[in-house]
Amino acid sequence: MSTRQEGEVSSARQLINIFESYNWAKEAAEQARLETAGLDSCPAGMSIVREPFVFLHLCPSPDGTVATHCIHTQPTKIFFGLFNSTKTTDLEVEKLSWSTAITAISRFLSADEAWLLRNIKKD
């Protein structure tokens, strides 16, 4: 998979448009070709970075589902509640519905951690 684009976007809608308009079927066909040839490959996907080390990674599948991996962060207190810290949790699901993946983009960007915890979990 040879496409790589980086840059800032102005809204969740802009990212959703990019995600929905990308030719994921072409990427899946290329991945299948590489696997048939016995070559290593990774599924094509889109990564959204909200802040350093906090990301949402979406990998569409030919069956219309989306493998999803997200880093969830939650403020917490440590050492008897005296110090602020952040708890980080990996959230992932192999077959998230397309519509839920689309919703995840805007929820991730708005830091709706409760929604992410409820909707992105192991199959």
Q: Can you read off the two tokens belonging to residue 44?
A: 């094509």
pLDDT in tens, 36-56: 999 988 889 999 998 888 899
Evaluate whether 72 touches 113 at the Cβ level (below 8 Å).
yes
The residues with which 18 forms a beta bridge, in sequence order, are none
Evaluate if pTM is beyond 0.75.
yes
pLDDT for res 5: 63
Burial annotation 37-53 (CB, 10 A radius, 16+ → b, else e): eeeeeeebbbebeeeee
21-32 per-position pLDDT tens digit: 999 999 989 988
Mean pLDDT calculated for residue range 59-78: 83
pLDDT at 4 over 60: no
The whole-number pLDDT of residue 50 equals 87
Are 46 and 14 in contact by the 8 Å Cβ rule? The answer is no
Q: Give the model's pLDDT for residue 2.
A: 41
